[in-house]
Amino acid sequence: MQEIYVSTDIEADGPIPGPHSMLSLGSAAFTPDGTLIETFAANLTLLDGASGHPKTMAWWRRNPAAWEQSRLDPAAPSEVMPRYVAWLKALPGKPVFVGYPAAYDFLFVYWYLMRFAGESPFSHSALDIKTFAMTMLDLPYKASWHIQG
């Protein structure tokens, strides 16, 4: 089965899910040759009992337009995450999570998938873009992100 690369970005109001909420989720699905298949995007309502982390909320206060975008037409995670699973399962191949930083974005996506959809089409795997660049460019990890051209 062909792999489909699902480039994903999230916005959140803190460093971990549960005490803090994922505010928005966006994914673009690509074939191995880089052809865009389609996209998925949603803003989510805040988790009951969760609150914004002070440092993260300070960042949001410095970026009010981004905050406003993340709060447009939010839907409950219990609605969004099953829709996301259905979207992933409808892709023409096995979805591979791709992100930067994958450790952060995947943490939220996986937690929300398990909590609100009961499954993860990604299994437990994620591909980190910076790590991929490091290996492809044969550079040290820290040098792989800021490349001068």
pLDDT of the chain, 149 residues: tens digit per residue: 899 999 999 999 999 999 999 999 999 999 999 999 999 999 999 999 999 999 999 999 999 999 999 999 999 999 999 999 999 999 999 999 999 999 999 999 999 999 999 999 999 999 988 777 777 777 777 776 665 55
Q: Answer whether residue 107 is part of any domain.
A: yes
**CB 113, CB 84: distance < 8 Å:** yes
Model confidence, pTM: 0.92
**CB 81, CB 116: distance < 8 Å:** yes
Q: Answer whether residue 88 is part of any domain.
A: yes
Please confirm whether the linkage preceding 121 is cis (ω < 30° from 0): no
Assign 141 to helix, strand or coil: helix
Q: Answer whether residue 149 is part of any domain.
A: no
DSSP letter at 97? E
Domain range for residue 123?
3-144
Which residues are bridge partners to 4 per DSSP?
A: 95
CATH at residue 91: 3.30.420.10
29's enclosing H/E stretch is strand 22-30
Name the domain count of the chain.
1
Encoded amino acid at 127, one letter: L
Q: Answer whether residue 91 is part of any domain.
A: yes
Q: Answer whether residue 78 is part of any domain.
A: yes
